[in-house]
């Protein structure tokens, strides 16, 4: 994965105002160095993803992705963004991180069209 621009759930953190303005290091940064403590995390997705795969991955890399109850609950929430985050992970699984980032870097927010 390229840097920490992609959240475990499929959100593209590279366009998040909190991250671009330096108030948030992203979903996965700092755990490998000990700067952040996974024991203090409240997000079930992040706990599972980093615990299983490490901080250089997203849920797209998990073999349990299609049947993960944590993700299914998250993507089942009401709201357009949850569908888009799922589409992002499915795109990454099919096409890889490099192709995803080529498209996502043109977005204005954490999700957008995957038709490049």
Q: Cβ of 56: how many Cβ atoms within 10 Å?
A: 14
E-assigned strand segments in 3-108: none
Whether 70 is in a domain gets the answer: yes
Q: Residue ranges of the alpha helices (H) in the chain? A: 17-20, 44-53, 69-75, 80-95, 97-104
pLDDT band at 3 (very low <50, low <70, confident <90, very high): low
Q: What is the pLDDT of residues 46-74, one digit of tens each?
A: 999 998 988 888 999 999 999 999 999 99
Whether 98 is in a domain gets the answer: yes
Whether 37 is in a domain gets the answer: yes
Whether 110 is in a domain gets the answer: no
**What are the tokens at 115?**
């038709």
The rounded Cα 116 to chain-centroid distance in angstroms is 19
Whether 20 is in a domain gets the answer: yes
Whether 4 is in a domain gets the answer: no
Q: Where in the sequence is the domain holding 95, given as residue range(s)?
A: 13-104
Whether 8 is in a domain gets the answer: no
pLDDT of residue 92: 96
Residue of 116 and 54 predicted with greater confidence: 54
How many domains is the chain partitioned into structurally?
Answer: 1
The percent of residues above 90 in pLDDT, for the chain, comes to 61
Whether 7 is in a domain gets the answer: no
């Amino acid at each position: 994965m390229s840097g920490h621009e992609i959240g475990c759930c499929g959100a593209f953190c590279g366009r998040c105002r909190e991250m671009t303005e330096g108030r948030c290091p992203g979903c996965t940064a700092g755990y490998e160095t000990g700067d952040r403590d996974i024991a203090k995390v409240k997000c079930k997705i992040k706990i599972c993803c980093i615990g299983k795969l490490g901080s250089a991955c997203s849920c797209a890399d998990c073999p349990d992705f299609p049947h993960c109850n944590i993700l299914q609950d998250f993507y089942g929430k009401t709201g357009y963004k949850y569908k888009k985050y799922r589409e992002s992970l499915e795109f990454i699984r099919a096409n890889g991180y490099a192709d995803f980032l080529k498209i996502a870097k043109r977005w204005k927010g954490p999700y957008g069209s995957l038709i490049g």
